[in-house]
Chain A
Amino acid sequence: AQKVTQAQTEISVVEKEDVTLDCVYETRDTTYYLFWYKQPPSGELVFLIRRNSFDEQNEISGRYSWNFQKSTSSFNFTITASQVVDSAVYFCALRAPNSGGYNKLIFGAGTRLAVHP
């Protein structure tokens, strides 16, 4: 079975604090893809990053960084020096092509991040 767990329902921080959003996934596929999306109040899901199961390199993009660890089945997302504009719901998602999931994303329940001035 495929599953994505985001244990943090809500996180509240003050601007300029660093914050890490946790994501734990389950799949029996050896080839799979992990994603992070941002959902602002307007509703659309904005793609942030994709990682495939063969690439465990951490990635940094500006204030965003991602830590992928297959040993713990985790794909955590860190925002450095958070800003009010980072306030949104963040979703971690899994695509497991060989388990009937070729065409779909399996999402976690999301983490609502509130950044206060």
Chain B
Amino acid sequence: DAGVTQSPTHLIKTRGQQVTLRCSPKSGHDTVSWYQQALGQGPQFIFQYYEEEERQRGNFPDRFSGHQFPNYSSELNVNALLLGDSALYLCASSPRGGRDIAEAFFGQGTRLTVV
């Protein structure tokens, strides 16, 4: 059983560009959360998707947007990239609407570098 799969694993973009990161949740999971982890820092919550809608959002600007598809997979889009967006982006999936965070599984992340 594959766990949480994120693609791509690494990405280099130029300031001002747009990027799309993808996440396939663990089988049986219906909820996807995205976190940003800057170098040397803990992960910061970006938002969570459930039933194809954004359910909760952290303190991130509107340049960060997302989508969840009927098969529960999710995309994170970042527009007008800034150097400060360079980070490891982690996706976490949960079953049963994310009722129990302890059941969340994390992917290995996408390392985004903005130059």
Contacts and interface: CB of A to CB of B under 8 A. Distances in A.
Given A102-B56, A107-B42, A109-B41, A50 B102 contact: yes
B102 A103 contact: no
Interface residues of B, number: 27
Contacts of A46: 106
Contacts of A44: 3-4, 90, 106-109
Interface string B38-82: 001111110010000001101000000000000000000000000
Interface residues of A, number: 25
**Residue in A46, A95, A104, A109 whose Cβ sees the most chain B Cβ within 10 Å:** A104
Contacts of B21: none
**Residue in A33, A105, A109 whose Cβ sees the most chain B Cβ within 10 Å:** A105
Interface in A49-63: 50
Given A45-B90, A102-B56, A107 B44 contact: yes
Interface of A: 4, 6, 33, 35, 37, 42-47, 50, 91, 93, 95, 100, 102-110
